[in-house]
Structure 1
């Protein structure tokens, strides 16, 4: 069962406390991020997408968080994906990335959410480096559906081997499974999702609120993956 692969760590508690602090005080929240590795062509996102600018498009890793806490990840390259420049994102060892590469944040990147045809009951998050220098997609994105106080579980099995770094214009991806095992919880319709970006220290670097595709529903038992370098890796879980 998918839930057996999602574990909760002390980082999850820290990240959640930070996320709540961000909402209440307007300060920084704690969160985690990771970086994708490898590149491939996969299920193309549907036309429906939302970003942090108010359109249907918006966003931005070391160890993987469990059950609501993200860890390290790598950043994707552009290539055939929107916003790409034909090059693949550079894979940088965690230690080097953590020491020298700034995080992808709400000020130097945008994030959007899109529907996909496969796998079913999944969505795709895409973060694009809109700055003029490289940025790293740390850990996994912290998600809050409809302003929920608890952050969405993070799939530990999706943690990449290295932090992915995005050059200007390049993208990283994270898959969202909306439902857990059939029959466990009744799906509840959701209209919006908050996406919290984090830096190498797992500190929140801002939250973007995105409008979800029509008819989106979650049962609280799904997960979000670490940031990946390509769509195929993000949607393989």
Structure 2
């Protein structure tokens, strides 16, 4: 009996010890697991989650503010820049940076004979700007000479460089038709009209051939037209 009781007590003590050891082993295992998580993530799990949320919130908030600030400022600045650019462009145009070519309808055009000698004939064609704005008459006018037989003959350009010819309202530009006079009285040319198309225009003015003009020697292709210039 004594042996049996002693063995029973020993068994109970051993069971209790084993129970305590098992509890201690669970706590140790839990602690070891936490240590492994910390090593892998660099920070404890719970603080990392809180820190990540704060960082994301901070970056998101800061990004939204920066975006709003940039968009608002950039958008308004861009609109103002575009508006200013348009205003400047318009201003340059209004200040005379670009001048349109004179319209035939706004020009008073006339022709007169200006004798250059006994052998050289010259006809001056004058164009007066009767419009309300400054315009350009720079270049060569298109000229055709109409003959008594109702044919129209184009005039060739002379060898001269155009000069800038800008006309304010009331100002005049002049260009010349030059040819050789035929004193024989046997000229085959019988001009009746001069058809003038101002530089960079498509509308034509019909002028009478000046009275007293010397006869043209050769063909109409021997007549030459020279660039416009301002009247002096």
Per the normalisation by structure 2, the TM-score is: 0.48
Instruction: Give the number of the structure whose residues are more often helix, by fraction.
Output: 2
**Higher CA-based Rg:** 2
Looking at both structures, which has the greater relative contact order when contacts are Cα pairs under 8 Å and sequence separation is at least 6?
Answer: 1
